[in-house]
């Protein structure tokens, strides 16, 4: 039997899929090369924005057709859209099963050990196997570049965000478990490890604990690069900066989602820091790591955002002098408080603000990238398509150059020849 994964959303879903692949391998399933040869399709869903959910429903329609073409084909779904492990015959079924009649079963990711029951018992007479989902040894899809969750869930309840409802309370994995997974990954050829958590800085709910863990991971011999996402400005502090400065194999990059640059909006977002506090962190970070890059996330058009609030966001962007930002128009998520806030911003204004921010981000990044011409960066090659290789430097600068598939997973020195707006082109030296 063969399976096919369709993964949406963030690195957390990709890491989860690697554990599910391992459960399937124990059940004698193999990965399919393509959809046609698959007997089972599993979707890993994201609900961070309405668009993310719409994409899932769009794809479900395609998979519904795929299912009718051969008897015995099945479709399962997990990830952030699922609230209750259930199937079409369950007494109480998840709402998504009503909206997607082609779905056979949906499951909470922490119930993955019971996958064999979902596949064989359509009466839903399941005895869910509880226990630590993280005990499942992952089957890494790219052994050179590995993501390792250090925690799951989130307790921060930012007023716009679905994650605490979708992924539950924050649970930190123990140090030994994380270190042993990192060591195994390196033994199996990992050059880069990314430590994952919705807020890595609150790991184990103890100030300084994450910095200590980061330092321990950095001591693993032969590990060339360590990344971590995401940091939270209310918990990120000097302890992490100090460990980064002391260990060259930790990325020269900080992803510190700001979400906004105006104090009134930050308060309504329940972020628990001010713009000034954020800018102080940036200053402290650059004091110790002047050549490192800083990227961030923003939401534009949050309920009640005025022109003045938005102008403050633009000013904040300029002050922080970010290397790059990911941003999206606010999308109301049912279940979250902000969805019922007054003064929702009309779509045309969201679009206008999105464009203004985009122009600023592109112009700032283009200027920064132009300064990298003739510099040499060490790129970990992630993919090569039609002889164009692509990867990132320690600063997380996206870089492309001519090469072939044998370079995937290798660290390659690349001289920057042609900086483009938000990507760099170079040649291997
Ligand atoms: N834990 C991280 C943090 O604290 O920033 C980010 C997690 S969230 C899954 C990823 C990004 O999605 C956020 O940084 C935010 O910018 C964006 N996001 C979350 N909810 C959103 C919403 N309702 N509308 C638009 N963007 C949203
Ligand atoms: Fe969502 Fe906020 Fe948690 Fe990030 S910290 S996952 S934005 S609730
Ligand atoms: Fe990630 Fe989307 Fe869930 S961003 S945590 S898969 S809502």
**pLDDT beyond 90 at 131:** no
Nearest atom of ligand 1 to the alpha carbon of 9? 9
Ligand 3 and 106: CB distance under 6 A: no
Cβ–ligand 2 distance for 260 under 6 Å, the answer: no
Residue 54 backbone phi and psi in degrees, to 5: -60, -40
- Domains, the chain, with CATH or none: 2-133 (3.40.50.12160), 144-370 (3.80.30.20), 376-428 (2.40.50)
| Ligand lying nearest the CA atom of residue 297 | 1
Residue 15 Cβ inside 6 Å of ligand 3? The answer reads no
pLDDT digits (tens, 9 = 90+) for 269-315: 999 999 999 999 999 999 999 999 999 999 999 999 999 999 999 99
CB-CB neighbours of 277 under 10 Å: 13
Substitution site in 299, 335, 338 for ligand 1 pocket (most atoms within 8 Å of beta carbon): 299
Backbone angles phi, psi at 72, to 5 degrees: 90, -5
Identify whether the C-beta of residue 199 lies closer than 8 Å to the C-beta of residue 230. Answer: yes
Q: Supply the pTM of this predicted model.
A: 0.97
Residue 108 Cα to ligand 3 middle (Å): 13
Give the Å distance between the CA of 426 and the centre of ligand 3. Answer: 33
* Ligand lying closest to the C-alpha of residue 271: 2
- Give residue-wise pLDDT tens across range 108-126: 999 999 999 999 999 999 9
Question: What distance in Å separates the CA atoms of residue 159 and residue 332, rounded to the nearest whole number?
Answer: 10
Mean pLDDT confidence for 94-114:
96
156 Cα: distance to centroid of ligand 3 (angstroms): 15
Residue 175 burial (CB < 10 Å; 0-12/13-18/19+)?
A: middle
Q: Work out the burial of residue 286: count CB atoms within 10 Å of its CB; fewer than 13 is exposed, 13-18 middle, 19 or more buried.
A: middle
The per-residue pLDDT for 26 is 96
For residue 159, what pLDDT is reported? 98
Beta-strand pair 424-428/398-402: parallel
pLDDT digits (tens, 9 = 90+) for 33-52: 999 999 999 999 999 999 99
- pLDDT on residue 218: 98
Per-residue model confidence as pLDDT tens digits over 159-192: 999 999 999 999 999 999 999 999 999 999 999 9
Ligand closest to the CA atom of residue 260: 1
Q: What are the tens digits of pLDDT across the range 245-274? A: 999 999 999 999 999 999 999 999 999 999
Nearest to 187 by CA among 147, 139, 220: 220
Q: State the pLDDT at residue 5.
A: 98
Query: What pLDDT score does 201 carry?
Result: 98
pLDDT at residue 130, as a whole number: 79
Average pLDDT, stretch 343-353?
98
Q: How far apart are the first and last CA of the chain?
A: 45
Contact status, residue 217 vs residue 193, Cβ threshold 8 Å? yes
Average pLDDT over residues 228-233: 98
């Amino acid at each position: 039997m063969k399976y096919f994964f369709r993964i949406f959303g963030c690195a957390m879903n990709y890491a989860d899929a690697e554990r599910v692949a391992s459960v399937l391998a124990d059940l004698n399933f193999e990965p399919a090369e393509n959809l046609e040869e698959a007997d089972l399709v599993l979707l890993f869903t994201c609900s961070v924005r309405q668009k993310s959910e719409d994409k899932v429903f769009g794809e479900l329609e395609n998979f519904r057709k795929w299912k009718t073409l051969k008897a015995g084909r099945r479709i399962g779904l997990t990830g952030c859209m699922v609230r209750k492990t259930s199937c079409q015959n369950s007494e109480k079924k998840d709402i998504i099963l009503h909206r997607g009649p082609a779905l056979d079963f949906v499951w909470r990711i922490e119930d993955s050990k019971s996958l064999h029951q979902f596949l064989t018992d359509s009466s839903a007479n399941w005895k869910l196997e509880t226990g630590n989902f993280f005990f499942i040894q992952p089957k890494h899809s790219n052994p050179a570049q590995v993501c390792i969750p250090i925690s799951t869930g989130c307790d921060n309840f930012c007023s716009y965000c679905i994650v605490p409802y979708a992924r539950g309370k924050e649970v930190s994995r123990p140090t030994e478990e994380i270190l042993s997974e990192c060591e195994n990954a390196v033994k199996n050829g990992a050059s880069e490890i990314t430590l994952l958590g919705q807020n890595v800085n609150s790991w184990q709910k103890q100030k300084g604990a994450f910095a200590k863990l980061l330092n321990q991971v950095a001591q693993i011999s032969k590990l060339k690069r360590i990344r971590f996402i995401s940091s939270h400005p209310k918990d990120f502090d000097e302890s992490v900066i100090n460990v980064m400065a002391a260990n060259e194999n930790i990325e020269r990059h900080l992803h510190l989602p700001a979400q906004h640059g105006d104090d009134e909006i930050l308060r309504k977002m329940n972020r628990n820091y001010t713009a000034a506090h954020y800018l102080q962190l940036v200053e402290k970070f650059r004091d110790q790591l002047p050549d490192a890059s800083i990227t961030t996330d923003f939401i534009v058009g949050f309920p009640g955002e005025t022109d003045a609030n938005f102008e403050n966001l633009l000013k904040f962007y300029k002050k922080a002098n970010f290397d790059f930002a990911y941003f999206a128009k606010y999308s109301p998520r049912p279940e979250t408080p902000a969805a019922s806030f007054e003064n929702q911003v009309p779509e045309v204004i969201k679009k206008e603000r999105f464009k203004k921010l985009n122009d600023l981000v592109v112009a700032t990044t283009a200027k920064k990238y132009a300064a990298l011409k003739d510099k040499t960066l060490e790129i970990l090659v992630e993919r090569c398509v039609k002889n164009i290789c692509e990867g990132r430097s320690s600063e997380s600068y996206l870089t492309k150059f001519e090469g072939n598939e044998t370079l995937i997973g290798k660290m390659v020195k690349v001289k920057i020849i042609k900086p483009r707006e938000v990507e760099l082109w170079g040649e291997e030296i």
